[in-house]
Amino acid sequence: MKFLNTLRRIFFTELRTIFTDGGAILLFLVANFAYPVIYSVAYMNEELHDVPICVVDSDNTESSEKLIKYMDETSELKITATANSVSEAMKLFDKGEVNAVFKVPKNFEQNILTSVQAPVSLFCDGAYFLFYKSAQKALIKTTGKMSGNIEVKRLMERGFNYNQAIDASSTIDIKVFQEYNQSGGYGSFLMPGIIFLILQQTLLIGIGLLGGSMKEKNYFRFYKVFDNKKGGIQALILGKSLAYTTVYLFNFVLSLVILNNIFGFPEKGLFLNQLALTIPYLFTVSFLGLAVSTLFKTRVHSLMFLVFLSPLLLFMSGVSWPLEAIPMTLRALFSVFPSQFAIPAFLRLKIMGVGLERISWELSIILIQMLIYFLLACFAYKKVIHKK
């Protein structure tokens, strides 16, 4: 009973500390709303439509005109300019008036009539991923349609009727279903992982900020009373972590449930399964943050150290770069952070809709980390209290 009373007192005291510290409010609440909204708006248009392009028709035949017409009919591209040469078209490209240049070479129709391969060219800036993706998709659709029509026409000239020609030309009936990421968009894959990392980093920085303030104001001396009680340090660490986890469960629901649905990102996983991963994840991060916070002598130190780690953790999480391409030594080094296991597991839960049994390995690692960091936080607090 005494343990629970101490736990409850610490819980409410820490909540008051959070909501009376301007820096903590900024990190714990404002940042966890602002970042997801900004990222979600940025990646909201996962597929671009009517990307302006310039066409260079060096053949000027019925076949080239038909191909260009097919290109303009796609939803991805819109022909907004024509040019007599590639150099002339590239001037428009350099000015930003068009985002791609499509060229039909000379002798295009002649090559088709003589059954010679008739290549076409598409120039697009690969640095702009969405432009490049839309242009490439439209090119594949257009050339596929043109090739199919040519094959059907040739078969009909050999005596096939239209239906027979369609059947004969389509030797393989391909139907593509994108089960998990239906739009094939970058945001649908990226957003849940980024937000899960934001939860970790803002929580670590916020706890470090509060720990730095306690060092600056010499508040750790007030915790000596807990060191003299049986289970006092454990209640102190659990009470603080429970306060942080409570606040961040609200952030989780806001950013990864409500905002996720508002912006239409994929949602296949069960909420309870996501919660079963998120709760131990947040406790693990809280325990780690409390242990690390004892190292910072000022508030600024926590910001300098933990903000520096954020881009590295994003890169090492496997969201922006495949984990298989990252050296094993680096992966082992960054595995001390819960996000390295939680993000891949959360993506499978949320986007693929798998059950908890499919993330049992990652969940086990997080639970082990939670126990280790709890003991580490208790040891760190005990050590810093004894110095006061």
What pLDDT sits at residue 375?
Answer: 96
Residue 118: the pLDDT is 80
Q: Which pLDDT score, from 0 to 100, does residue 239 have?
A: 92
Q: What is the pLDDT of residue 56?
A: 93
Long-range contacts of 139-143 (CB under 8 A, 24+ apart): 139/71, 139/102, 141/74, 141/76, 142/67, 142/70, 142/71, 142/74, 143/67
Helices 31-42, 232-253: axis angle to 10 degrees equals: 30
pLDDT above 70 for 313: yes
pLDDT of residue 199: 92
Per-residue pLDDT at 273: 93
Note the pTM of the prediction, 2 decimals: 0.78
Q: What is the mean pLDDT of the chain?
A: 83
Q: Give yes or no for residue 46 having a pLDDT over 90.
A: no
* End-to-end alpha carbon distance in the chain: 28
pLDDT tens digits along 181-205: 666 666 677 788 888 889 998 999 8
Q: Closest Cα partner for 240 from 226, 228, 253, 252?
A: 226
Most confident of 145-149, 221-225, 290-294: 290-294
Q: What is the pLDDT of residues 134-185, one digit of tens each?
A: 888 888 888 877 776 766 666 666 666 756 555 655 555 556 666 676 666 6
Q: What b-and-e string marks burial along 62-100, b requiring 16 or more CB atoms within 10 Å of the CB?
A: ebbeebbebbbebebbbbbbebeebeebbebbeeeebbb
30-60 exposure pattern, b = at least 16 Cβ within 10 A, e = fewer: ebbeebbeebbeebeebebeebbbbbbbebe
Average pLDDT (345-373) is: 92
DSSP helix/strand/coil, 82: strand
Q: Average pLDDT in the 302-326 region? A: 76
Superfamily name with CATH number, domain 51-169: abc type-2 transporter like domain (3.40.1710.10)
Secondary structure (3-state) at 81: strand
The pLDDT of residue 351 is 83
Q: State how far the alpha carbon of 158 is from the alpha carbons of 165, 166, 237, 345, in Å.
A: 9, 13, 83, 57
Q: Is the confidence at residue 82, as pLDDT, over 60? A: yes
At 374 the pLDDT is: 96
Asked if residue 97 lies in contact with residue 86, where contact means CB atoms within 8 angstroms, the answer is: no
- What 8-state DSSP symbol labels residue 325? G
3-state secondary structure of 77: strand
| 369 pLDDT higher than 70 | yes
In terms of Cα–Cα distance, which of 384, 104, 375, 115 is closest to 237? 375
Quick one: what percent of the chain has pLDDT higher than 70?
88
Q: Model confidence at 324, in pLDDT bands (50, 70, 90)?
A: confident
Per-residue pLDDT band for 255 (boundaries 50, 70, 90) equals confident
pLDDT at 1: 67
The domain ranges of the chain are: 2-44+185-386, 51-169
